[in-house]
Chain A
Amino acid sequence: MFSTEVADIREGIVRADPRLSRFDPLPRILCLDDFDKGHSGWSQLLGNYEGSLKTILPGYRNMTNPMLSTLSHWDSGSHGAMDGTYALKVATKSRKDAVSVAIKRLTFRRACQIRLEFYATFKPEAVDLALSDRDLKSVGFLLDLQPGDREGAGAQRVMPHLRYLNAKNGQLEQKWQFKRQSPPVKEIGSRNETVSHFHLADEGWEDLPDGAQRLCYNEIATKVNWHYFRFDFDLASMSALWFQCNDRVFDMSGFDSIRLPAMKNLWCMLNVCLFAETASDKRAFLYVDSVCLSGNL
């Protein structure tokens, strides 16, 4: 029995396309970033500054450029991406607690439900012939959002954060955390034009209810497996609707975002960030095969 319903036809098209079939996109696909086709607009997060780069807040000084990687390993050669050759690599510096962030900067045209989906994996740098599963602190993602300029009084900049805390202080943690505690906003420079806040500091993370999850780290430092991530967020109510990692869907009723007074030059902002943190003096790597950002636009 053939259906002529638009939704059925659309679903059939999505499922028949190998690039899309692995995702569950909402009706409008904003971005389908396959890093076999290049960096796709993902770049290095840079802290704000004025007059001198020395005014960048310390937490931002360790940031590095995301790079196209073949997941090349000293013992087994190129692992490659989930399909094709290249994944986007977010690499920290080899300095304990360093964070690195890849960012894609967009705006939105309607405050609606959006869906972020991606396939990714993570690993510490394989400098030791050891499992090294406690050397990577976390991988995670965040959105940086602000409503349109007609929002009126009380408008907020909203930043939902989630991280998979893999290990800390030499102990496996293996749980999801979120952050709603606003970091201090600091004036940068002397012109009263620029502010900055480091929202990825290690302080202020809270455990997601029932957020413990063991992932597929694999058995040595150079074997990786790709994982699925999905996060739904409503830009109208600025609330999280769904969070999923592989087979686990998490209760988001206790989740909230960092909320700040709206800023003067960020209207309709829709930024997506992916990050990695190291727990040791080894580089930590987040590898991203592909990203799909969709919405009810």
Chain B
Amino acid sequence: MLRESVTYVIAREETWQGPSATEPVEAGWATEAVFFLRGMDAAAGELPRVRAQISPDGMRWIDEGAAAAMPRNKDDLQFLRVRHFGNWLRLKADLPEGAHCSLLVSVHLK
């Protein structure tokens, strides 16, 4: 049997500012995840790194360790990879005052 493979779009042209996160991704069936972040517009201000987070229940989150830069310009791509994540995943970033970033975020699981 071929193994399952799926793409979820978890932020669709969302503008992140201040404390920001994707919707939770439930993916206990998957063993690996690749996130892509695409800039949908020019970002502004000082951009923090975006962090992968894991969770025991989809409600309480802790940094997993993987992190990537946020896209600075329209159509810039960034990615980060995660394995051994249990059942829950999301991306989180805390943008300082004056910073914002418009994103399309997808996660590719198998």
C-alpha gap A89/B25 in the complex (Å):
11
By a CB distance below 8 angstroms, the chain B residues around A122 are none
What does the 1/0 interface line of B1-41 toward A look like (CB < 8 Å)? 00010101110110000000001111111000000000010
Please judge, given known A-B contacts A53-B12, A65-B8, A125-B59, whether A70 and B27 are in contact too, CB under 8 Å: no
Q: Is there an interface contact between A67 and B9, defined as CB atoms closer than 8 Å?
A: no
A261 within 8 A of B: no
Chain B interface SS verdict (over half): loop
A91 within 8 A of B: yes
B87 within 8 A of A: yes
By a CB distance below 8 angstroms, the chain B residues around A39 are 4, 6
Q: Is there an interface contact between A74 and B29, defined as CB atoms closer than 8 Å?
A: no
By a CB distance below 8 angstroms, the chain B residues around A73 are 57
By a CB distance below 8 angstroms, the chain A residues around B8 are 44, 65, 67
Q: Is there an interface contact between A53 and B13, defined as CB atoms closer than 8 Å?
A: yes
Q: Is there an interface contact between A74 and B57, defined as CB atoms closer than 8 Å?
A: yes
A127 within 8 A of B: yes
C-alpha gap A61/B11 in the complex (Å):
10
Q: Is there an interface contact between B28 and A61, defined as CB atoms closer than 8 Å?
A: no
Excluding A44-B9, A53-B40, 7 further A-B contacts by CB distance (< 8 Å) are A52-B13, A68-B27, A72-B87, A74-B60, A91-B24, A125-B59, A126-B59
**A-B contacts, 8 listed (Cβ < 8 Å):** A38-B4, A38-B6, A53-B40, A64-B10, A65-B8, A85-B29, A91-B24, A125-B58
Binding site for A on B (CB under 8 A): 4, 6, 8-10, 12-13, 23-29, 40, 56-60, 87, 104
